[in-house]
Amino acid sequence: MTRLASLADITGLAARPGYDPAAHGRGIVHLGIGAFHRAHQAVMTDTAMAVAGGDWRITGVSLRSTEIAEAMGPQNGLYTLIERGADGTSARVIASIRDVIAANPAATLAALADPAVRIVTLTVTEKGYGIDRATHAPDPAHPAVRADLAKPEAPVGVLGLLVAALRLRRAAGAAPFTVLSCDNLPENGALLRSGVIGFARHVDPALADWIAAEVAFPSSMVDRITPATTQATLAEAERQAGCTDLAAVETEPFVQWVIEDHFPQGRPAWEAAGAIFVTDVAPYERMKLTMLNGSHSMLAYAGFLSGHRYVRDVMGDPALSVLVARHLQAAAAVMPPLEGIDLAAYAEALADRFRNPAIAHETFQIAMDGTQKLPQRIFQPALTALERGQPLAPFAFATAAWMRYTLGQTDDGQTYALRDPREDEIRAVLADVPREAGAIHDALAALPGLIPAALSGAPAWRAAVTGSLDPMLSQGMVAAVREEALR
């Protein structure tokens, strides 16, 4: 079968882009071109160009791996987006990605320095930034930050590349780009701004002042449940597009993007694709991180250790689905009221999305990088609940499930990789610890900068976590979940 490489190759039912890609120039560089970017920002940019035009095609950058470039390069950036809902599947070919740069820092820097590029978007995951979450300063222990501070003229990491590119643009008298983080971090724009300025301060203080004065870092909240591409994705793409597509992605029908409207060099008409522009994204980010991502992490650890491969299977388990509803309710209770948003309806809609029978989202995928995710998803909301005297049990149960997960072995003895940037540290603190709830809790709570001291030091919190962890250890996860759901 023909490989997708031009719009003429699409012979199936998949919808075609509503514009001629060749008539649009580049305006965006995206760092971290995984499945999520291709299911979210690239799609909304595609719609924006179809509706309102503009030179906003995207150069996608994969900082380390070459896999996506190998899939997309021969396809001239084209790929099929498959949307799987409870009532059917639809497909559309996306043309917003112009080219892909893989594991090539010099070419990345050259793209970032191109004055035609007015926006840099990022999905590099929580661990990709190299910013200390407590101080918001560059983390010198992060490998890329360390390498780039030593050799700022040849950067390989996020902060180093952004600073080097802004330096080149300033020297050339070109305007800076706007930097738009699309990762699941609270106040992601402010965090990244602080990391970039902090890094620049080490390299060239005048550059740091210029960035502080001239560069916009809007925050944004992104949402679309996107499982990793599988053979089933590629087979569906081939059916829908009528040609072979090795870069296809599959996702749910739901999509949300809430963005701070601060783009001094202009932006695509993303509102044409449903993006919501607001002056303060923080409450939306908090809602999504606490409710969607918080319950996702809880169900991933408890679900994986109960033997459920996919989120939809977790939702089909009566005891776990009770715990998901309980978690959503507790998460909603720590949220300040959000104008125009009904949190109970939001919780219902989330549970429906988790139940989507057509989406095969692996609990093991969500379980990775727990140390990077739990602070904003579980510990911060738990601290709020503690301060307000609201129920701690749901957050404590989620924490206990993660602690149980860090032991690296299921109840029937199968081992798995933790896949966490702090896994060596976790293994080290657990090495000589007995399999006892209090001891495991204390060892993990002592990991620096992970659980706020005001939370881990509170007797009520420790009692709640160990009270959930104990049955997980003594009776196994399935029985512990059943017991917890009856509480």
Q: Which residues bind ligand CS2 (CB under 6 A)?
A: 184, 223-225, 292-293, 296, 365-366, 373
C-alpha distances in Å from residue 168, one per residue of 206, 260, 295, 409: 13, 26, 43, 49
Residue 58's nearest CA partner among 32, 38, 28 is 28
| C-beta closer to ligand CS2: residue 184 or 399 | 184
| C-beta closer to ligand CS2: residue 184 or 406 | 184
CA 350 to chain centre: 17
SS3 of residue 90 by DSSP: strand
| C-beta closer to ligand CS2: residue 285 or 484 | 285
Min. distance of Cβ 365 from ligand CS2 in angstroms? 6
Helix (H) or strand (E) holding 262: none
Residue 97's nearest CA partner among 61, 65, 133 is 61
Q: Are 80 and 251 in contact (CB under 8 A)?
A: no
| C-beta closer to ligand CS2: residue 178 or 220 | 220
Min. distance of Cβ 76 from ligand CS2 in angstroms? 28
- Closest-CB residue for ligand CS2? 296
Please say whether the dihedral angle defined by the alpha carbons of residues 121, 124, 125 and 131, taken in this order, is positive or negative: negative
Min. distance of Cβ 244 from ligand CS2 in angstroms? 28
| C-beta closer to ligand CS2: residue 184 or 456 | 184
C-alpha distances in Å from residue 87, one per residue of 145, 213, 250, 256, 356: 46, 50, 15, 20, 10
| C-beta closer to ligand CS2: residue 104 or 364 | 364
Min. distance of Cβ 394 from ligand CS2 in angstroms? 16
Residue 297's nearest CA partner among 215, 414, 381 is 381
Distance, in Å, from the CA atom of 339 to the CA atom of 283, rounded to the nearest integer, reads 10
| C-beta closer to ligand CS2: residue 254 or 277 | 254
Min. distance of Cβ 447 from ligand CS2 in angstroms? 19
Distance, in Å, from the CA atom of 259 to the CA atom of 281, rounded to the nearest integer, reads 6
| C-beta closer to ligand CS2: residue 292 or 385 | 292
Min. distance of Cβ 226 from ligand CS2 in angstroms? 7
Min. distance of Cβ 44 from ligand CS2 in angstroms? 14
Helices assigned H by DSSP within 23-142: 35-39, 41-52, 67-72, 105-113
Min. distance of Cβ 389 from ligand CS2 in angstroms? 28
